[in-house]
Amino acid sequence: MTPQKVILSHRGYQTNVSQNSRNKPSVKSKKGLIPTTNKRALDGKEVIHIVEYDDKIRELLVPSQEPTVYPALLDTAEFNKLKQQATVITAQDRLNMLEEADKKKNKLIEECMARKDEMQKLSQKHLHGQKYSLLESDAHQQATYILRRAFEIKQEQEDEVKRANHLIMSTKCHAIRDAQIAEKKQIEKDLKDEECRLDEMMENERRRALRDEEQREEKEKVKKDLYAKQIQEQIKVSEIERILELERKEEESRHILEVQKQIQLDELEDYNRKRAQQKQMQCELNEINRQIERFHEMELEEAHINNLRIQAYMQQKAEREEAREKALKAQRMAKEREIARLRALQQHQQDLQAEMDEIHSLRIQEEVEREFRNKERAAMRKKKDDDIAMKKAREEQILDRRRMEALEIAREKQAFEEVLKVQKKAAEKQKLDDHRKQCILKQYHSDIMKQINEKEHERIKEKQSKYEEGLALKMEEVRRERYIKEAMKKKVEELRAHKVPEVYVKDIERQLKLG
């Protein structure tokens, strides 16, 4: 009998995995693999039924990457214990619990001592030859049972017994785990053997598929050869048609070339005629350009005079005027580019109306430039007026700022005086508070010394009482250890009675120091 079955039977559980797998009906499949969903509560994983050649069915567990989560089934005592452990216990609650436990323990000891005295009295009566009646006998048995149960419950509350119970439970779990590991290794071995068999089947299937693929490729090769021959014949026919088409296109190209030569001769005659007209127009335009250049020189001289006047007036703001001069220069360059563009347009004119358009454009240009100069003069006058107004406004702002600073200084001085008064009052109040605190500290010091003396007297009395109780407690501790060892030996013997492997029992005895 394995350790797993022994311990499970001791705890009231049964393992029916193998019986369930034998009692399942047979399932046949053409492919040999039938995926099903496992309905058992052990693991909840997928199981594959493999149909072998002799119509036998094997169950294989499919490995899963996801961890298996088992539901926890707790009894009432364990659930209540977890609830108690989840409760947050404060220091005051812990003190109250210790006091309550001491009260219960003292009460239980008093009840046990009372029952013990009663049992001793009954024993003395029995020794004197007195016979129990039926009621007295039942009361005696009940009292004996209650006394024994109280003593056992008291022993179960001891830390050593709790540790022994925890160790026994851990050993049981360890034994179950070892049995499960052995079973898992056997399952892994069976899975590995089955995978080897499936790999062999897949290899045979692969070889058969390769043979089919080679036959199919041979048939495809024959089809491709036939198709290539047909394509070559079609290429020959297309080549003949292409040669005929090239000859036809070459004939058309010669005809088009002759027509283009005639057109080029006509265009050359037109070009020579237009060239003579352009030379005549160029001479006329050169005369107009000379007039424009003279006008431009006069304009530059006038602009230079204006710039000298502006620089003399704006001597203190050289940086701004330099930027404005650059802007004026850029505008003049833009005007020159516009004139050059008009010249280029005039040169490409091919009709007699070009001269009239040029004269009209010059008139428009003069009007635009005259209007631009007038706007510049008006802008300069407006700028001068704005600077004067800005200077006056700045002087007024400086005066207002000085007045505001004077008012601010006066307000700060008044606020400082008020704060100084408040601080003086606070200093006087603080002095009175310090004197009162000194008096309180002196009184507190005297009270503390009085309490220390009282505590010292109480400590001496308590030490004397503890020394008197020490001997009795020492004897009680020796007796308690003897009873605890007897209880732990009894639990170990119960494990042997339930046929737990001796190696685990010996390990428990070693850890509990019962050897």
Burial 314-327 (b: 16+ CB within 10 A, else e): beeeeeebeebeee
pLDDT at 318: 67
Q: Is 197 or 463 the better-scoring residue by pLDDT?
A: 197
Asked whether the predicted pLDDT for residue 27 surpasses 60, the reply is no
Burial 20-58 (b: 16+ CB within 10 A, else e): eeeeeeeeeeeeeeeeeeeeeeeeeeebebbbeeeeebe
pLDDT at 370: 78
Task: Write the pLDDT tens digit of every residue in 187-225.
Answer: 888 888 888 888 888 888 888 888 888 888 888 888 888
β-bridge mates for residue 60, sequence order: 48
Distance in angstroms (rounded) separating the CA atoms of residues 145 and 139: 10
Average pLDDT over residues 100-115: 81
Q: Is 331 or 184 the better-scoring residue by pLDDT?
A: 184
Q: Out of 312-321, 342-351, 383-392, give the one with best mean pLDDT.
A: 383-392
- Report the run of H or E that residue 277 belongs to, with start and end: helix 159-313
Q: What is the mean pLDDT of the chain?
A: 74
Task: Write the pLDDT tens digit of every residue in 148-164.
Answer: 777 777 767 777 777 77
Whether the model clears a pTM of 0.85, i.e. scores above it, the answer is no
Average pLDDT over residues 214-237: 83
In this structure, the number of other CB atoms found within 10 A of the CB of residue 289 comes to: 14
Model confidence band, residue 121 (pLDDT cutoffs 50, 70, 90): confident
Task: Write the pLDDT tens digit of every residue in 70-91.
Answer: 556 667 887 787 777 767 667 7
Asked whether the predicted pLDDT for residue 9 surpasses 50, the reply is no
- Report the run of H or E that residue 58 belongs to, with start and end: strand 57-61
Burial 97-111 (b: 16+ CB within 10 A, else e): eeeeeeeeeeeeeee
Beta carbons of 64 and 46 less than 8 angstroms apart: yes
Model confidence band, residue 124 (pLDDT cutoffs 50, 70, 90): low
Asked whether the predicted pLDDT for residue 132 surpasses 60, the reply is no
pLDDT at 177: 81
Average pLDDT over residues 474-481: 77
Q: Nearest-CA neighbor of 278 among 355, 350, 352?
A: 350
Model confidence band, residue 324 (pLDDT cutoffs 50, 70, 90): confident
Helix (H, G, I), strand (E, B) or coil at 120: helix
pLDDT at 30: 34
pLDDT at 20: 41
Average pLDDT over residues 90-118: 80
Asked whether the predicted pLDDT for residue 31 surpasses 70, the reply is no
Helix (H, G, I), strand (E, B) or coil at 68: coil
pLDDT at 183: 84
pLDDT at 430: 83
pLDDT at 125: 61
Phi, psi of 114 (to 5 degrees): -65, -45
Distance in angstroms (rounded) separating the CA atoms of residues 162 and 488: 10
Structure token digits, residue 47: 């199981």
Average pLDDT over residues 413-441: 82
Average pLDDT over residues 102-113: 80
Model confidence band, residue 127 (pLDDT cutoffs 50, 70, 90): low
Asked whether the predicted pLDDT for residue 26 surpasses 50, the reply is no
Asked whether the predicted pLDDT for residue 448 surpasses 60, the reply is yes
Distance in angstroms (rounded) separating the CA atoms of residues 435 and 429: 10
Long-range CB pairs of 23-27 (<8 Å, 24+ gap) are 24/57, 24/59, 26/55, 26/56, 26/57, 27/51, 27/57
Q: Is 61 or 54 the better-scoring residue by pLDDT?
A: 61
